[in-house]
Structure formats: C-alpha cells, structure tokens
Structure 1
Amino acid sequence: MGRQYSFPFSSPGKVYYLQHPQKVNLTEAQQACFNDGAQIAKVGQLYVAWRFMGLNHCDAGWLADGSLRYPITKPSRNCGPLEPGVRSFGFPPPFQKHGVYCYSAGML
C-alpha cells in the first residue's frame, strides 16, 4: 500500500474530475458529486491530490469555495504555463457552466 499523508484539512480519499454529460453550474456541481456518492472537493483536497497523488487534468472544474481550478503535474503547451501547479480561474459567477472536481473519502 502507498504512503499515507495526513493533513488537518483533508482526510484520506480521492479527488477526481467527474465525467458528466454536460457542464454544470455551481449548484448543479454540488448535486452531481452528491449523486456520484461524493462531495464537491475543497481547495486543499485538490492541492493534496495534485502534489501527493499526481492528479493531472487539463479541464477546469468547480470547487467547494466557488472557485474554478485544475491540477497539472505534466505540463503541455495546450494546458497553460509550462510548469506544474494548480491553475486558478478565480471565482466566476455561480451560474456559469463548467466541470467539477469531487472528493470521495471511500476511494483510496
């Protein structure tokens, strides 16, 4: 089994980009994660998944604080700056349609 990291803001689990048939607004994003047996991911959970679990996904998604971000561990020309990091698009209006990152405590 892999090494476990403990952070005060995050319990062991998995952050993932929810493959959804359409983009969703913030309220729909929260519901979509719930319907998938998870909850909308927090910023700290996304950072942990990026830094310690290698989460790499070039699609921006909603997070619990209403921000829009995506994690990059393997930079490419088609996905922003050429260094790893969690990219942020700030806090768009909650009615805009985007993807969503979910967190499930039951998935290790």
Structure 2
Amino acid sequence: MRSQLNQLFFLLNNRATMLLYNDDSYSSLVNFFIGYELSINHFSAPETLSFNEWLMQEEGRRFSANWSSYILQKNENNEERSKEMLLKYFEAYIKTLSFQPTD
C-alpha cells in the first residue's frame, strides 16, 4: 500500500495531467483529492480523522472554510503555491492513516 501511495504522489508531483481531468489546475487537484478521500474513508479505520479535521489539528486552529478554500486563502489565491501546499499536506495526512484489510 505504501509503495502505491508513493507512486501516486510521484505522479501528482511530476505528471499530474495523467491523473487530473482536463487540466493541471488547483480545482482539478482539489476534485481529485475529494474523490480520493471518499475512497479512503471506505477503507480506513473508523477513528480516522477527515482531511479537514486533520488539517485543523495540523494548523493548530479551527477554520470555517473547507480545506480547499482555506489553503487557497492562505496562499493569497495563488493556485501554484496552493497546489504545492495541498500535495505536501495530503501526503502527510495519508501517512497518518491506518487501513483495514480488504476482503
């Protein structure tokens, strides 16, 4: 599982257009991670924090915006910096997860 995640992040960092629909924009990356998080929730342990909850813990503060808006605002609406930050945060989040075995 870890090697597959490493491959995923390699592709997202170096060949994002292979995985993202239509373009390499921040919104495409956000949509990819929303779908990925939905699948993670199906296979992860019940006590697993959502990415939004994890990010609030990581940042040491609560925010009313969704994580995608928060990251974009934190980077003054700069999509390139927001993509870099999202990749960094999501990779750190994935490393905290424990997955249940599948049948």
TM-score (norm 2): 0.29
The answer to which structure has the higher strand fraction is: 1
Q: Which has the higher helix share?
A: 2
Higher relative contact order (CA 8 A, sep 6+): 1
